[in-house]
Chain A
Amino acid sequence: MIRRPLLLVLFLLIPSESFGQRVQVPLTVTRHRLENGLQILAREDHSLPVISFYTFFRVGSRNETVGLTGISHLFEHLMFNGAKKYGSKEFDRVLEANGGFSNAYTITDMTSYYQNFPSDKLELIIDLDSDRMASLALTEESLRSEREVVKEERGLRIDNEVSGAMMEQLYALAYLAHPYRWQTVGWMSDLDNITLQDCRQFFRTYYAPNNAVIVLSGDFKTEEAVALIRTYYGGIPSQPPPRPVGTIEPEQRGERRAVFQKPAELPALAVGYHGPSVRSEDIFVLEVLEVLLARGESSRLYRRLVYEEQAAVSVSAAFPWMLDPGLLTFSVEVKPDQKTEEVEGLLYAEIERLKQEPVPDRELRKAKNILQAEFVKGLETNNGTADNIGMYELLFGDWSMMRTALDRYEAVTAEDVARVARAYLSDSSRTVVTLIPEVE
Chain B
Amino acid sequence: MMERMRRAVGGEKGRMGEWAYGSRKVWEYGSVGVRAFYSLLPYPHTPIRLLPFPFRLFALFLFLLLTAPAHSADIVLPSPQRTVLPNGLTVLILPQEKLPLVVFRMVIRAGAAADPDGKAGLANLTASLLKQGAGGRTAAQMAEEVEFLGGSLEAESTYDATFITGQFLSRDMEKGLSLLADILIRPSFTDEEVERERDQMLATLAQSREDAEYLADIFYNRFLFGRHPYGRPDLGTDTSVAGLTRLDVVEFHRRYYAPNNAFVVVVGDVKPAETIRLVTLLFGTWSRRAVVSRPLPHTTGLQGRRVWLVDKPDMTQSQVCIGNLGIPRNHPDFFPVVVANTVFGEGFTSRLMNEVRVNRGLTYSIGSVFPARKERGAFLIYTSTRNETTGDLIDAVLAELKRFREDGVSETELAAAQQYLRGQFPLSLEGPEALVEQIALIELYQLPADSIRTYSQRIQAVNRADVLRVARQYFAYESLGIVVLGNTAQVKPQVERFGPVEAHVFDEEW
Contact = CB atoms under 8 A, between A and B. Distances in A.
Contacts of B199: 310
Contacts, number: 310
A336 B55 CA distance: 50
Given A25-B100, A314-B24, A381-B431, A97 B210 contact: no
B20 A316 contact: yes
B72 A314 contact: no
B427 interface: yes
Contacts of B313: 263, 440
Contact of A104 (B4, B18, B139, B148): B4
Interface in B211-268: 211-212
B423 A117 contact: yes
Contact of B5 (A103, A148, A155, A316): A103
Nearest to B32: A103
Interface in A2-29: 14, 16, 18-19, 21, 23-25
B17 A329 contact: yes
Contact of A50 (B54, B143, B427): B427
Contact of B200 (A306, A316, A327, A380): A306
A237 interface: no
Contacts of A380: 99, 101, 430-433
A123 to B, nearest CB: 11
Given A155-B317, A377-B167, A264 B17 contact: no
Nearest to A264: B210
Interface stretch (B82-90, B321-329, B359-367): B359-367
Contact of B430 (A107, A120, A382): A382
A372 B150 contact: yes
Interface string B193-210: 000100110011011011
Interface in B290-323: 312-317
Contact of B4 (A96, A105, A262, A264): A105
Interface string A55-90: 000000000000000000100110010000000011
B384 interface: yes
B348 interface: yes
Contact of A97 (B65, B171, B360, B365): B65
A110 B224 CA distance: 43
B419 A149 contact: no
A290 B422 CA distance: 41
Contact of B62 (A97, A315, A365): A97
Contact of A152 (B13, B131, B359, B384): B384
A76 B1 CA distance: 12
B364 A153 contact: yes
A172 interface: no
A89 B171 contact: no
Interface stretch (A32-40, A220-228, A292-300): A292-300
Contacts of A18: 148
A297 B147 contact: yes
B348 A96 contact: yes
Q: Classify the interface of chain A: helix, strand, loop or mixed.
A: mixed
Given A23-B169, A156-B384, A376 B101 contact: yes
Nearest to A320: B17
A391 B16 CA distance: 10
Contacts of B131: 297
A96 B416 contact: yes
Interface string A307-344: 10010011111111110001101010101100000000
A94 B168 CA distance: 40
B357 A149 contact: yes
Contacts of B37: 101
B7 A103 contact: yes
A48 B429 contact: yes
B348 A80 contact: yes
A331 B384 contact: no
Contact of A89 (B354, B419, B426): B354
A92 B316 CA distance: 30
A163 interface: yes
Contact of B72 (A118, A265, A371, A374): A118
B152 to A, nearest CB: 8
B22 A50 contact: no
Nearest to B422: A99
B432 to A, nearest CB: 7
B62 A318 contact: no
Interface in B415-448: 415-416, 419-420, 422-424, 426-427, 429-434
B359 A145 contact: yes
Contacts of B172: 19
B34 interface: yes
Contact of A316 (B3, B21, B55): B21
A190 interface: no
B453 interface: no
B151 A116 contact: no
Contact of B2 (A166, A185, A322): A185
Contacts of B168: 373
Given A365-B148, A366-B148, 20 more contacts: A19-B171, A73-B2, A80-B348, A97-B62, A101-B424, A145-B361, A148-B361, A152-B361, A152-B384, A153-B2, A155-B384, A156-B317, A302-B22, A306-B200, A307-B139, A315-B22, A316-B20, A320-B16, A369-B150, A380-B432
Interface of A: 14, 16, 18-19, 21, 23-25, 47-50, 73, 76-77, 80, 89-90, 92-94, 96-109, 116-121, 124, 144-150, 152-153, 155-157, 159-164, 166-167, 184-185, 262-266, 294-299, 302-303, 306-307, 310, 313-322, 326-327, 329, 331, 333, 335-336, 362, 365-366, 369-374, 376-377, 379-383, 391, 438, 440
30 contacts: A73-B2, A80-B4, A93-B55, A96-B53, A96-B349, A96-B420, A97-B419, A99-B72, A101-B347, A108-B16, A117-B423, A145-B360, A145-B361, A149-B363, A156-B364, A156-B384, A159-B316, A294-B22, A296-B146, A297-B139, A297-B143, A298-B140, A298-B148, A313-B204, A322-B17, A366-B144, A369-B149, A369-B150, A373-B149, A382-B430
